[in-house]
Structure 1
Amino acid sequence: MQKYMAILSDMEERIRTGQYGPGRKLPSIREAASLYDCSRSTIIRAYAELERQHTIYAMPQSGYYVVDKRGEQWDVRECERLDFTSASPDLNIFPYLDFQHCLNKAIDTYQYHLFTYGDSQGLESFRNTLASHLASDQVFAKPDQIVVTSGVTQALMILTQMPFPNHKSVILVEQPGYDIYLRYLEMEGAPVESILRTSKGIDLDRLEKLFKHGNIKFFFTMPRYQNPLGVSYNLAERKAIVALAAKYDVYIVEDDYMGDLGSERRLHPLHSYDDAEHVIYLKSFSKIIFPGLRIGAAVVPRLLLPTFRMYKKYADSESSLLSQAALEIYIKNGMFERHKHKIVKMYASRMKAMNDALLQHNASGIVEPTLVQSGVYIALQLENSVNMDQLIRRLAGREIVVVHSKGFYLTNYASPYKFLRLSITRVHKDVISASVYTLLEEIKKANQNAGRKRL
């Protein structure tokens, strides 16, 4: 991250956490330059950006002050309902003004292009920007390999329907796995096979047997921060999966929709190990900016590209040009990286609070949590005898809403364990410990009820 961006992120964090409280005067330009060991022009640029965001204001002959937005802040005392279900971005840190600026700039820059039909593969300048952006995450692709889609869901629909050069037909999915895609596969009547995934990973021997004998067209997987478990494949697993795909001519559809929200280094996507061009990499921006943007990107192997483009053209001639243009500007101006730094830091602090709360309140082992240090999901494994529907209702009665495991399995799949999926994106850090205590209290009661019924 550039020096200016790091300084700006630090100033925003100090303001957000109250170190520079509402109405407080900020350090002078000279003092701030000394504090950050940078030039005065860098500080002037940072203060100008904060002023443009309406975060601070300048008083002539006096200095810069923090805008008093206490009426707009999230008062945790008013959060009566604790929502552990949503993975949408925290609305309290949504970059409204930044993105509004990018939308206005996009209209000015692309005013004629926005009102014509564009390339179904995506705005060329945006794909060039995406190529550089993806390279920073070890996904190296030429712009002509990138196809812009209306979210990752559209890419999954295309890949499900189109023929593959390996002439196979079965789609392999993780169990538990991404609920929306599982429901889509069932609705389409697509031939599906499944493999169990746990906090410990997957059985690579079974995966090899399925790849070798299962007529597998592609394996759909979320290697990093999987929904719903929140876990990631380790390095050995990632390399082994890619090697098996190349060996048995099976494609991998890698959904990396949570990749931006992790703070762990060297946890690279499967695509970075793919020398045989058997990995289709899917990128989403919905979890870090906002779902309504409806912009996704698919990095497609060249052998699949003509067919994918044809299906994309007839399914949806083009994704929103305005959204593409605004996101291009948002990325090129460094705004995306700065927002990412902010949101990852916030979510990491919430995940730490979650882990600390479980360590404190789960000493007796009421639940078995997945070991997750980053991302937004964590799963709590329960006793199989627990009445899940009754538990969900009791928690809702105490203003805690959660998602249970049923929807993350194929309908006819005999799930070997039950769990609750928790998301930390909409729950303030300061209420996590108390909510986990209440959550475990209700689970303990559910365990006792299940025990009495067995007797």
Structure 2
Amino acid sequence: MYKYMGLLNELERMIARSFKEGDRIPSIRILSERYACSKSTVIRALSELERMHLIYASAKSGYYVLGRKEQEEQPRQMIDFVHSAPDPDIFPYLDFQHCLNKAIDTYRNDLFIYGTPQGLPTLIKEMQRHLAGYQVFAETERIFITSGVQQALTLLAAMPFPDGKRTILIEQPSYPLFKAYLEAHGIPAMGIRRDANGIDLNELEHLFRSGAIKFFYTIPRYHNPLGGSFTRKQKEAIAELAIRYGVYVVEDDYMADLEQDAKADPLYAYDREERTIYLKSYSKILFPGLRVGAAVLPRELADSFRRYKQLLDIDSSMLSQAALELYLKSGMFDRHRDKIRGCYLRRSNLLSEAIREASAAHPGVFSGPLPSPGGILTHLLPQVPAVLPRVIRRLHSRSVRVESANSHYLTGFQAKAMIKLNVSGVREEDIPGGVAAVAEEIARESAGRLP
């Protein structure tokens, strides 16, 4: 990331936390000394803030904070622990708009013809470089641009694999839209239970050994809806089992950008024999409406994936692909990733502290893990599972929205009674009170029903 972009993030945070409309920004000289950077770097960052309409320049006086629209909006009433899209307050509207406009100018001839099923060649080349930053190394021939992770999953579920196997193994609970797709299309599927500690590797080996598994779908980090992440040893073990029994693993790394541990690699990095299919999404880090994702396929699956993708939609949105390419190349993505990682780390810490306080205030009423560092979701397990429906109803009457994880389970698989907590769309100041309300209602409904 360019140095001025890091400074830009710092100045944005400073403006949001410490300044109000009309306040004067520290001088260029002071900012240069404070952040140990050149004056030209400061000037470029200030120019970007002007373009974003956060500050304005006054001749011979300095830079001042402009009024922000969000200060004039009515506060949101509902504390929503269900909402899973990125926080609209940190959407990179202006940066991405700039990339869209530039994409139209740069690729004006290419945007009005059909592309290739694999994706925009220049984006694939940039994606190769980008994915290497996640320790995902692959030749361009193995990288495909898809209309989100959902499209990649539907293609993988529908297309035949060389070994002829048909049954898909998925964690329970798991991504609800994929589970719904499998059931709607009558695709054979079976589940393996996952909890805060991961999965039973002995059970996984038994299922792999059976010889019926087409692929195993897993979310190794920031699991939806549990919130946990596999350890390095667990990822190594899964990769080794996949190699030993010839099973493919589909790794959905949709939240890779929130990772706080620089040494935490994806499961793909431990695969020595191309048994892992790596999926990367951008809808949870940029915009939900940006239906662009990336899939890294083993060589023996690439041709079949290409054919099935072409039959489904010819190509993914060329304009979105071109804009994403420019967004990645410019360094704007790195700046936004740094910004959203910091924002979600604060929410993650607030959620952890709120759960600790609620546990201390209501001992023995519920259990549940703290979110993984930087993660924005986790779950609570009521000591008395039967109270869950009433708890959800009563919280709604208190303007706190939560839901169970029932939709994340295959039909017939015993669902665990839990309350999902996702703070991606919850204001920081609302997190403590919202979690406290959830704990109060669990305690209230459990009173007299505990053994």
User: If the length of structure 2 is used for normalisation, what is the TM-score?
Assistant: 0.96
- Per-residue CA deviations over 1:150-173 (Å, capped at 9, x if unaligned) read 111010000001111222111000
Q: Tell me if the contact between 1:119 and 1:318 (Cα under 8 Å) persists in the aligned partners.
A: yes
2:70 to 51, 72, 76: 72
**Residue matched to 1:164:** 161
2:7 equivalent in structure 1: 7
Between 1:387-396 and 1:106-115, the stretch displaced more is 387-396
CA deviation string 1:39-77 (max 9, x = no partner): 1111111111111111111111111111121x42387x8
Taking the TM superposition and a 5 Å limit, the aligned residue runs for 1:163-312 are: 163-312=160-309
Q: Read off the aligned partner of 2:212 and give its amino acid letter.
A: N
Q: Which moved more, 1:440-449 or 1:172-181?
A: 440-449
Whole-angstrom CA distance in 2 between matches of 1:246 and 1:188: 29
Partner-residue secondary structure (3-state), 1:292: coil
1:32 aligned residue: 31
Gaps spanning 5+ residues in structure 1: where?
none
Instruction: Kindly state the Cα deviation for residue 412 of structure 1 after the two structures are TM-superposed.
Output: 0.7
Q: Is the 8 A contact 1:385 1:447 kept in 2?
A: no
In structure 1, the residue matched to 2:57 is 58
What SS does the aligned partner of 2:237 have?
helix
Aligned to 2:374, the other structure's residue is in SS state coil
| Residues 148-163 of structure 1 mapped to structure 2, 5 A cutoff | 148-163=145-160
Corresponding residue of 2:383: 383
State the shift of 1:15 in Å.
1.1
Q: CA deviation at 1:448?
A: 2.4
Q: Which has the higher mean CA deviation after the structures are superposed, 260-269 or 274-283?
A: 260-269
The C-alpha deviation readout for 1:213-260, integer Å capped at 9, x for no partner, is 141110000001000000000010000000110110000000111111
Distance 1:214 1:80 in 2: 52
Q: Per-residue deviation at 1:367?
A: 1.6
Identity, in percent, stands at: 46
Aligned residue number for residue 111 of structure 1: 108
2:140 aligned partner? 143
SS at match of 1:404: coil
Q: Distance in 2 between matches of 1:22 and 1:235?
A: 47
> Which SS does the other structure have where 2:161 is aligned?
coil
1:450 CA displacement: 4.3
Indicate if the aligned counterparts of 2:290 and 2:320 stay in contact, CA closer than 8 A. Answer: yes
Please give the secondary structure, in 2, of the residue aligned with 1:253. strand
Tell me, yes or no, if the aligned pair for 1:166 and 1:249 is still in contact at 8 Å: no
Partner residue of 1:49? 48
Higher mean C-alpha displacement, 370-379 vs 285-294: 370-379
How far apart in 1 are the matches of 2:16 and 2:2?
21
User: Do 1:127 and 1:146's aligned partners in 2 also have CA atoms closer than 8 Å?
Assistant: yes
Displaced runs of 4 or more, over 3 A: none
How large is the Cα RMSD of the aligned pairs?
Answer: 1.5
Give the equivalent residue in structure 2 for 1:336: 333
Which amino acid in 1 is paired with 2:353? D
Report SS of the residue matched to 2:413: coil
Q: How does 1:318-337 map to 2 (within 5 A)?
A: 318-337=315-334
Partner of 2:431: 432
Q: Is the 8 A contact 2:20 2:65 kept in 1?
A: yes
Closer, same or farther in 2 for the Cα pair 1:31/1:443, shift >3 Å?
A: same
Read off the aligned partner of 1:429 and give its amino acid letter.
E
What CA deviation, in whole Å up to 9, does each residue of 1:126-169 have, x standing for no partner?
Answer: 11111111111111112221111111101000000111122211
Say whether the 8 Å CA contact 2:2–2:331 is kept in structure 1: no
| One-letter amino acid of the counterpart of residue 70, structure 2 | E
2:434 is matched by which residue type in structure 1?
Answer: S
Report if the CA contact (8 A) 1:7-1:46 is conserved: yes
Work out the CA distance in 1 between the residues paired with 2:429 and 2:385: 32
1:382 counterpart letter in structure 2: P
Any gaps of 5 or more consecutive residues in structure 2?
A: none
Distance 1:227 1:54 in 2: 36
Measured in 1, the distance between the counterparts of 2:148 and 2:82 equals: 20
2:119–2:316 Cα contact (<8 Å) kept: yes
Quote the residue 1:83 is aligned against: 80
Q: Which amino acid aligns with 1:5?
A: M
User: How far off its partner does 1:5 sit?
Assistant: 2.1
Deviations 1:9-62 (A, max 9, x none): 111111122x24322111222221111122111111111111111111111111
The one-letter amino acid of 1:439's match is V
The answer to whether 1:313 aligns with 2:310 is: yes
Conserved 8 A contact 2:368-2:379: yes
Q: Which moved more, 1:5-14 or 1:104-113?
A: 5-14
Deviations 1:409-431 (A, max 9, x none): 1111123x311111101111111
Map 1:418-429 to 2 at 5 A.
Answer: 418-429=417-428
TM-score by length of 1: 0.95
> What SS class does the counterpart of residue 283 from structure 1 fall into?
strand
For 2:41 and 2:254, the matched residues in 1 are separated by 34
Whole-angstrom CA distance in 2 between matches of 1:339 and 1:158: 30
Query: How far is 1:264 from its partner?
Result: 2.8
* Equivalent residue number for residue 91 of structure 2: 94
Q: Give the drift of 1:449.
A: 6.1
Distance in 1 (alpha carbons) for counterparts of 2:165 and 2:265? 28
Aligned CA distance change for structure 1 residues 400 and 248 (closer, same or farther; 3 Å):
same
Q: Which amino acid aligns with 1:42?
A: T
Residue matched to 1:397: 397
Amino acid across the alignment from 1:16? A
